[in-house]
A and B are shown apart, each in its own frame.
Chain A
């Protein structure tokens, strides 16, 4: 599906998702600066990440790789998600 080439999740969108689905407030600037810190340092647990994956799957209408919910950092997560969105897997 070539039209998915345009879909990329930004740091800002991730911060908004963290707030909406997991109740975790984190400033996008901080999230970008500390993108290699663990999700747990922002207060996001594994169920919270699972909820974000589910939201993205609903939004883009596709299944994301299973490793997505096991990513430890925002940087890893965005790289994996955006890679998957690019290839439309």
Chain B
């Protein structure tokens, strides 16, 4: 042991709280939080034609591609050689998040005090395809050893841990698109159980030939050919979703530990719950999502009326949109018709597991800027919801509800409170 260990942090009420202190974003809107937020707040759309090599002739025409991304700007070559694009995104987003949180080597009390949790839905499809083509085209000697690790869901957690020497509790959540929220909940639990810091999030790189072929079987995938028509949830023109690549990583810390090192506490992970209602059973997702919302609110000690903004799952499939609107009504009662609902992801596409993590990052920024960002491409909402469309809406959101559903049937809800928010039994 090298010197005395700092006593474990506890709040005065005896509970350790998980708070967000840093955001790192790699998205179709751009790299870094500032570029991302500007596009989100302006209601800009970054959806466009699929241009990645080998994808031009696929029956998927519109997606959110991350452009101008050079992983080598932030990550050393030896990590890039052995990893897929989804891990390049994760390593870069992690560095951005750590920088954003001003969390440096000096803040690492012990390597065991920092954990890593990521969620992944598609793994390293591009890397895997290349090596499998080498295998069947040239022979087994032509398959590189990094194939053994690069295409796994777990690759990003492992590489973030290795590169940063984070040896605390690490995990990977493989739970469908909603898994992005589950990863944050897992990180919060880890913090409550004694880990001071958890680097947490999700990134995806599903825009490569093999990966796209895997998605073509989804009936929910939008086959629209025009970017402004491809992804329009909650409207009568809804025709599925446009996929996206990229994602976000957050630095989640114990509140007291964050304050001790002088970090700004930006939001509290206040509550979460998850349910499962089966693949593409969208009508049934109503009950599952409502149950998840109620569970998340209960854990947060949050009344429905306290929810200031909802970041919707917004799948863009009429039956699923209807189920989501009804789930909100079931869980929030009359407040469901009054609370502003937004889905900024219509401007980027759905980055699978990373989609709700980007929404969590957006929610933190929305609370800080006092602005609820709009839902690009969406006009004439055909549900009983106050969807923020067109322009961003000035507001003072203090509590955000973020929803996520997966094509395979997972439903999750997460409650985020602005700043350092104690559970509101005393409110």
Contacts and interface: CB of A to CB of B under 8 A. Distances in A.
B145 A54 contact: yes
A84 interface: no
Nearest to A24: B78
Contacts of A58: 141-142
B144 A23 contact: no
Interface stretch (B79-87, B355-363, B417-425): B79-87
A47 interface: yes
Contacts of A27: none
Contacts of A54: 141, 144-145
A14 interface: no
A70 interface: no
Contacts of A48: 78, 82, 145
A21 interface: yes
Interface size class of A (residues with CB under 8 A): 10 to 19
A64 B141 CA distance: 13
Contacts of A23: 76-82
Interface in A21-37: 21-25
Interface string B148-159: 110000000000
A78 interface: no
Contacts of B149: 47
Nearest to B146: A47
Interface of A: 19, 21-25, 43-44, 47-48, 50-51, 54, 57-58
Contact of B148 (A19, A21, A47, A57): A47
B76 A57 contact: no
B194 to A, nearest CB: 30
Interface in B292-328: none
A57 B144 CA distance: 13
B141 A57 contact: yes
B145 A50 contact: yes
B6 to A, nearest CB: 30
Contacts of A51: 144-146
Nearest to B75: A23
Nearest to B149: A47
A22 B141 contact: no
A7 B182 CA distance: 55
Interface of B: 76-82, 141-142, 144-146, 148-149
Contacts of B79: 23
B77 A21 contact: no
Given A22-B81, A51-B145, 14 more contacts: A23-B78, A23-B79, A23-B80, A24-B78, A44-B78, A47-B82, A47-B148, A47-B149, A48-B78, A51-B146, A54-B141, A54-B144, A58-B141, A58-B142
B145 A47 contact: yes
Nearest to A44: B78
A21 B78 contact: no
B144 A24 contact: no
B258 to A, nearest CB: 31
Contacts of B81: 21-23
Nearest to A19: B77
Contacts of A47: 82, 145-146, 148-149
16 contacts: A21-B81, A21-B144, A22-B81, A22-B82, A23-B77, A23-B78, A23-B81, A24-B78, A44-B78, A48-B78, A48-B82, A48-B145, A51-B144, A57-B141, A58-B141, A58-B142
A44 B79 CA distance: 10
Nearest to A47: B145
A39 to B, nearest CB: 12
A25 B72 CA distance: 13
A44 B146 CA distance: 13
A57 B140 CA distance: 12
A44 B142 CA distance: 20
A54 B76 CA distance: 23
Contact of A25 (B77, B142, B144, B145): B77
B90 to A, nearest CB: 17
A19 B78 CA distance: 8
A44 to B, nearest CB: 8
Contacts of B142: 58
A54 to B, nearest CB: 6
B78 A22 contact: yes
B77 A24 contact: yes
Contacts of A57: 141
Contacts of A24: 77-78
A24 B82 CA distance: 11
A43 B148 CA distance: 19
A54 B143 CA distance: 9
Nearest to A51: B145
B201 to A, nearest CB: 24
A43 B80 CA distance: 13
